[in-house]
């Protein structure tokens, strides 16, 4: 089986590539080829699987046709301009997130006798306030950002192209991934990870919002699990509705902090400094807090149900089991 | 005020043009110019208003820029490839309904210092079964056709472009328009009108479904009223949600027939022949039956509440008041 990850240099893409490289199989079938694609050069993990890396920009006409030339049976489409950048650069966001996605879908459509599984990374940004405390599987899309709009359009295209039989698609709306590894970044959502990752490494962290703020989380490990499950799932079970909100854990920042205390002690918690930031408070106020993901759950998707498990996953996967 | 109707040769476009030509004003402002655009040459109604007609294809690059060159303050975008054709011709449907709409929106975005009111004709085809008996204002979009997908994408673009301040948009989801004037057509929904229009003209009509079938209706007169109200509305009241399901009348085919009897007598009803058509029965089974349009109602949109009024509107507007 030939598996392609578009967005293979991103956080989830890299972790998914490492997992596939380690397992050597997907959906019980041997992977004989893994292709990692991104705008920046992806890194090929060590593996007995033959891994190719490619630097390519999906928003350049002709790129999608070239990428699918070798007819990968499974395509993970994780590439995107993130929320903040898509808001700051209107043209770039639409070029990558809408046109890039559509060109990929069209290249597949126009390739004769080709019908791969396509896993599309969508986002809870397709939802915008006001919404119910728990967003259900039938709540409508009211994105408040261009990024959310582009993801919602990607979902609609994926559904129509799948209905037409051009490919076998599934769109998965990830919760906010926490704990994001690496350095603190400037994304408005960064603090959700920073206040855990930095203290776990003995470093200080800033909390810009109230501990009462509630949000929707899953670990990077769970995110990789979502991708694998979406690739393995019998899509006949999706019927005409191929886009799903994935399970996650609804928790307040205060609950994050108490989980940190339980796992790493008072010393870690003492490294968090509360420093309210009105801009971030306002942005976060428009974000979804909780979901009822009955459909995804019935389809077998699973996330953590206890924040301590999210922290432990980080310690095992990123810190070699030691803090 | 310069008003433009794109899709000015279509059924609603023509009636809207006639109404604007007659009124000479929109939102209390004098219309000094009315431009009718369509792929087939629109007909300019008699009027003291200066009316221009233009034959143009929105899916041809550069067309949108040319059309908005004269900076119309109000644009009604009613042009579309209809459902059946968009399903039969994938490329054409996407070219007109998605690309054409996006190019129009982008031409406006890129025109400096220009921020017109844009009224976008959407459709209840953005909803697909299974759905609740009454579809509410927060039900999600699950189109079962490429046409419905393209309209749902148009709504998302309209909302994002309006949020960004590129134009002042409102998307309105029309009920099925009944009684459609003119000759019977082959649209699957044609019979809803045929069984009234033909008997009112003393001609036979075929009913291909059970009288129990329930559907969602408004008259052409109400449709014109929706367009005018959408142009006049204070869009600040829409908040971040600029797309609306419009009011309509939920009625069964049996109720249509009883209204016909009340208005035109048993003789008219006797002209309807029940001849079940399995294909049409199956298609219609996936259509929405009823809506809770609380938002549109609160915003002042109005439709008929009695099917006899729909029939009377047809007799007044199309048959000179006589049957």
The model's pLDDT over B92-119, given as tens digits with 9 standing for 90+, comes to 999 999 999 999 999 999 999 999 999 9
Please list the residues that pair with A92 across neighbouring strands: none
Torsion of CA B82, B88, B89, B90, to 10 degrees: 90
- Chain A segment 92-121 residues within 8 A of B by beta carbon are none
If one counts every other C-beta atom within 10 angstroms of the C-beta of residue A317, the result is: 17
3-state secondary structure (DSSP) of residue B267: helix
| Least reliable range by pLDDT among A19-33, A130-144, B247-261 | A130-144
Taking a C-beta distance cutoff of 8 angstroms, is the pair A117, A231 a contact? Answer: yes
Nearest to A313 by CA among A225, A187, A212: A225
Residue A28's Cβ-count burial label (10 Å; 0-12, 13-18, 19+) is: exposed
- Pair of tokens at residue B47: 């009027």
In a domain, A210, yes or no: no
User: Could B156 and A149 be called an inter-chain contact, meaning their C-beta atoms sit closer than 8 Å?
Assistant: yes
Query: From CA B138, how far away is CA B147, in angstroms rounded?
Result: 21
User: Could A143 and B159 be called an inter-chain contact, meaning their C-beta atoms sit closer than 8 Å?
Assistant: yes
In a domain, B303, yes or no: no
B144 close to A (CB below 8 A): yes
Residue B190 has pLDDT above 90, yes or no: yes
What local confidence, expressed as pLDDT, does residue B163 receive?
Answer: 97
Nearest to B318 by CA among B174, B221, B244: B221
Q: In which domain, by residue range, is B50 found?
A: 2-176+217-245
Please list the residues that pair with B168 across neighbouring strands: B117
Question: Closest residue of A to B138, CA-based?
Answer: A140
Residue A183 has pLDDT above 90, yes or no: no
Tell me the pLDDT band of A229, cut-offs 50, 70 and 90. Answer: very high
- Pair of tokens at residue A95: 């070029």
What local confidence, expressed as pLDDT, does residue A184 receive?
Answer: 83
**Nearest-CA distance from A63 to chain B in Å?**
20
What local confidence, expressed as pLDDT, does residue A199 receive?
Answer: 98
Tell me the pLDDT band of A79, cut-offs 50, 70 and 90. Answer: very high
3-state secondary structure (DSSP) of residue A53: strand
- Chain A segment 173-232 residues within 8 A of B by beta carbon are none
Taking a C-beta distance cutoff of 8 angstroms, is the pair A100, A112 a contact? Answer: no
Residue B71, CA distances (Å) to B65, B108, B109 in order: 10, 9, 12
In a domain, B292, yes or no: no
In a domain, B68, yes or no: yes
Query: From CA A159, how far away is CA A156, in angstroms rounded?
Result: 5
User: Could A159 and B140 be called an inter-chain contact, meaning their C-beta atoms sit closer than 8 Å?
Assistant: no
Taking a C-beta distance cutoff of 8 angstroms, is the pair A222, A314 a contact? Answer: no
The CATH number linked to B235 is 3.40.50.720
In a domain, A141, yes or no: yes
If one counts every other C-beta atom within 10 angstroms of the C-beta of residue B204, the result is: 12
Burial letters B251-261, b for 16+ CB under 10 A, else e = bbbebbbbbbb
User: How do residues B277-296 score in pLDDT, each as one tens digit?
Assistant: 999 998 888 889 999 999 99
DSSP readout, B272-314?
A: EEE---HHHHHHHHTS---B--HHHHHTT----SSHHHHHHHH
Taking a C-beta distance cutoff of 8 angstroms, is the pair B31, B72 a contact? Answer: no
Nearest to A102 by CA among B256, B21, B153, B229: B153
Question: In a mutagenesis test of the A interface, which of B140, B158, B239 is the best target, namely the one with the most A β-carbons within 10 Å?
Answer: B140
In a domain, B260, yes or no: no
Q: For residue B153, give every residue at least 6 positions away whose Cβ sits within 8 Å of its Cβ, in sequence order, or none.
A: A153, A156, A157, B98, B101
User: How do residues B216-243 score in pLDDT, each as one tens digit?
Assistant: 999 999 999 999 999 999 999 999 999 9
- Chain A segment 279-318 residues within 8 A of B by beta carbon are none
* Among candidates A128, A152, A240 on the partner chain, residue whose Cβ is nearest the Cβ of B142: A240
Query: From CA B30, how far away is CA B24, in angstroms rounded?
Result: 6
* Annotated catalytic residue within A94, A114, A147, A161: A147
- Chain B segment 72-91 residues within 8 A of A by beta carbon are 90
Q: What is the pTM of this model?
A: 0.96
Question: In a mutagenesis test of the B interface, which of A140, A143, A285, A291 is the best target, namely the one with the most B β-carbons within 10 Å?
Answer: A140
B156 close to A (CB below 8 A): yes
A147 an active-site residue?
Answer: yes
Chain A partners of B157 at a C-beta cutoff of 8 Å?
149, 153
Please list the residues that pair with B5 across neighbouring strands: B36, B76
Taking a C-beta distance cutoff of 8 angstroms, is the pair B312, B263 a contact? Answer: yes
User: Could A164 and B138 be called an inter-chain contact, meaning their C-beta atoms sit closer than 8 Å?
Assistant: no
Taking a C-beta distance cutoff of 8 angstroms, is the pair A97, A140 a contact? Answer: no
What is the 3-state secondary structure of B101-117?
A: HHHHHHHHHHCCCCCCE
What local confidence, expressed as pLDDT, does residue A31 receive?
Answer: 98
- Pair of tokens at residue B318: 């199309």
3-state secondary structure (DSSP) of residue B264: helix
Total number of domains in chain A: 1
**Nearest-CA distance from A4 to chain B in Å?**
27
DSSP readout, B147-200?
A: HHHHHHHHHHHHHHHHHTTS-EEEEEEE-EESSPPSS---STTHHHHHHHHHHH
Residue B17 has pLDDT above 90, yes or no: yes
- Pair of tokens at residue B12: 């609603």
With both helix axes pointing from N to C terminus, report the angle between A307-318 and A253-264 in degrees, rounded to the nearest 10: 60
B169 close to A (CB below 8 A): no
In a domain, A312, yes or no: no
* Among candidates A140, A146, A160 on the partner chain, residue whose Cβ is nearest the Cβ of B140: A140
In a domain, B42, yes or no: yes
User: How do residues B24-72 score in pLDDT, each as one tens digit?
Assistant: 999 999 999 999 999 999 999 999 999 999 999 999 999 999 999 999 9
Which residue pairs from B15-23 have beta carbons closer than 8 angstroms and sit at least 24 positions apart in sequence? B15/B220, B15/B221, B15/B223, B15/B224, B16/B76, B16/B78, B16/B224, B16/B227, B16/B228, B17/B42, B17/B44, B17/B45, B17/B51, B18/B45, B19/B224, B19/B228, B20/B49, B21/B45, B21/B46, B21/B47, B21/B49, B21/B51, B22/B47
Residue whose structure tokens are 């006798």: A113
Residues A163-178, mean pLDDT to the nearest whole number:
97
């Amino acid at each position: 089986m030939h598996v392609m990850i578009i967005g293979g240099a991103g956080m989830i893409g890299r972790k998914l590539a490492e997992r596939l490289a380690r397992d050597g199989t997907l959906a019980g079938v041997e992977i004989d080829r893994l292709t990692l694609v991104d705008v920046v050069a992806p890194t090929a993990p060590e593996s007995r699987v033959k891994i190719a890396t490619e630097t390519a920009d999906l928003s350049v006409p002709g790129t999608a046709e070239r990428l699918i030339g070798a007819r990968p049976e499974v395509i993970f489409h994780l590439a995107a301009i993130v929320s903040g950048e898509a808001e700051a650069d209107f043209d770039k966001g639409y070029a990558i997130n809408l046109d890039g996605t559509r060109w990929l879908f069209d290249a597949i459509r126009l390739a004769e006798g080709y019908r791969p599984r396509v896993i599309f990374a969508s986002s809870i940004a397709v939802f915008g306030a006001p919404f119910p405390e728990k967003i259900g599987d039938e709540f409508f899309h009211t994105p408040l950002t261009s990024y959310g709009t582009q993801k919602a359009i990607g979902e609609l295209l994926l559904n129509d192209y799948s209905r037409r039989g051009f490919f076998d698609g599934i769109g998965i709306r990830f919760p906010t991934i926490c704990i994001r590894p690496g350095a603190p970044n400037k994304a408005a959502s960064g603090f959700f990870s920073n206040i855990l990752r930095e203290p776990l490494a003995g470093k200080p962290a800033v909390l810009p919002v109230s501990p009462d703020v509630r949000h929707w989380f899953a670990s990077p490990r769970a995110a990789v699990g979502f991708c694998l499950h979406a690739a393995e799932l019998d899509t006949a079970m999706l019927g005409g509705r191929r886009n799903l909100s994935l399970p996650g854990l609804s928790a307040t920042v205060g609950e994050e902090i108490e989980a940190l205390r339980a796992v790493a002690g008072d010393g870690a918690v003492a490294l968090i400094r509360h420093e309210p930031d009105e801009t971030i408070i306002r942005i976060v106020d428009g974000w979804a807090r909780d979901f009822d993901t009955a459909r995804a759950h019935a389809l077998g998707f699973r996330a953590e149900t206890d924040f301590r498990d999210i922290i432990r996953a980080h310690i095992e996967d990123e810190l070699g089991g030691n803090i």
